[in-house]
Amino acid sequence: MFDFEPIGISAREASRGLASAGTEKKNEALRLIARELISRKRDILDQNRADVKAAEAKGVKSTLTDRLYLNEKRIEGIAEGVLKVADLGDPVGEVISGETRPNGLRIKKVRVPLGVVGIIYESRPNVTVDAAALCLKSGNAAILRGGSDAIGTNIVLAAIMRDCVKKAGLPENAIQLLADTSHESANALMHAHGLVDVLIPRGGAGLIRSCVENSTVPVIETGVGNCHIYVDSAANINMAVDIIDNAKTQRPGVCNACETVLVHRDIAEELLPKLKKRLDAHRVEIRGCKITKMILGSSVTDATEEDWATEYLDYILAVKVVDNIFDAVEHIRKYSTGHSECIVTDSLPAAEEFTSAIDAAAVYVNASTRFTDGFEFGLGAEIGISTAKLHARGPMGLRELTTVKYIINGSGQIRQ
């Protein structure tokens, strides 16, 4: 049987050492990691070849083996990412607020690490390093549970990172990888309430649902984005075409890509042919409602109920003509995953109605949904885009990997 407890306890122990480690030591560890990833890239690539080969032999889909695959350039990219984390400000120790109460108590609210962060993710070795680096910088011990297909690569990456953490004088158990990639190990991590402070699943909707339904550890849901763009009757048509094209085709496999376009009926006949022409250049398949089909003809397939609810992550777009902004809002409320939603309009009342009525992490007026990202928002590297409402919403950077504590200094005050 998989025994999580010793791992959890050593992570808690390590988190205490990390919490009081200074920024310089943490940055030293990160810079060492970046250097060692490069200098030991042969070891990494050898293991990665073996992982990819085994995955291919098992018949894993090519889109998935592509996520698993590393080459020199990708390793360099990962190392650069670690250096970027080193360059970010340290959130730990920030005094968020403070005051002296009438009775003389001096109260301050100080930012501290969460403690132990669990990350469950798929077979993407880059996540192993990204997540560990962000946890380290924010003073948290990381317990990584990656997908089984990447386990050989992940073991090498974790060993390199642990060496570097130790060399920098920090507890190596600040980074732990679960070598057991069975369902049982994921389950143990989900039930480690008291040993793990937060669980961040990174992956598809199924993984996230499983964590929400099974975990006793608090979960922050990330990264499922069924994002909509509503083109209002008062929209600039060319701007709408540019934004939809960008949001659909610039990188269709990511969570902030657009999946459904809603079009006000008054401009549907003008917009839709222009949009189709633009999307045809990327061979985007359009699945439309009846009116969309009437306007665009037989190349459009029928959108089903399932289409409205699907995050395609592909060159497919669902299109629906709506009677007015209220119908658009209703549709989004029904199908949105609370990630990124957009209105294209020149009407101020329409923009205000939309931004007020839509409940999502990011609500856009006249810009591509693709901007929902830590760097684009000026927050730096992120561990994911939270679609949860508690604790963190939107890009989860270093600050979102912390909590607070109140420190109260007195001189013998007692309560009356």
Chain residues in the site for a copy of itself (CB under 8 A): 16, 19-20, 99, 101, 105, 107, 109, 112, 114-115, 193, 197-198, 212-213, 216, 218-220, 236, 239, 242-243, 245-247, 250, 351, 355-357, 359-368, 370-372, 376-378, 388-391, 393-394, 403-415
The answer for residues whose C-beta is within 8 angstroms of residue 172's C-beta and 6 or more apart is 14, 162, 163, 165, 166
With respect to a copy of itself, which residue has the nearer C-beta, 236 or 301?
A: 236
Query: What is the smallest separation between the CB atom of 410 and a copy of itself, expressed in angstroms?
Result: 3
Query: What is the smallest separation between the CB atom of 175 and a copy of itself, expressed in angstroms?
Result: 20
With respect to a copy of itself, which residue has the nearer C-beta, 19 or 291?
A: 19
With respect to a copy of itself, which residue has the nearer C-beta, 50 or 408?
A: 408
The answer for residues whose C-beta is within 8 angstroms of residue 109's C-beta and 6 or more apart is 95, 96, 97, 98, 404, 405, 406
Query: What is the smallest separation between the CB atom of 403 and a copy of itself, expressed in angstroms?
Result: 4
With respect to a copy of itself, which residue has the nearer C-beta, 148 or 347?
A: 347
Tally the C-alpha atoms within 13 A of residue 239's C-alpha that lie toward its C-beta: 16
* List of E strands, 164-247: 175-177, 198-202, 227-231
Distances (CA, A) of 54 to 48, 68, 180: 10, 11, 17
Query: What is the smallest separation between the CB atom of 330 and a copy of itself, expressed in angstroms?
Result: 11
Query: What is the smallest separation between the CB atom of 250 and a copy of itself, expressed in angstroms?
Result: 6
Ramachandran angles phi, psi of 231, nearest 5°: -100, 110
Query: What is the smallest separation between the CB atom of 161 and a copy of itself, expressed in angstroms?
Result: 24
Query: What is the smallest separation between the CB atom of 57 and a copy of itself, expressed in angstroms?
Result: 37
Tally the C-alpha atoms within 13 A of residue 279's C-alpha that lie toward its C-beta: 30
Distances (CA, A) of 284 to 128, 254, 274: 33, 16, 13
Residue written as token pair 């085709």? 249
Say if CB 203 and CB 225 are below 8 A apart. no
Strands across the sheet containing 141-145:
175-177, 141-145, 116-121, 198-202
CA distance 314 to 258: 10
With respect to a copy of itself, which residue has the nearer C-beta, 75 or 112?
A: 112
With respect to a copy of itself, which residue has the nearer C-beta, 72 or 99?
A: 99
With respect to a copy of itself, which residue has the nearer C-beta, 32 or 198?
A: 198
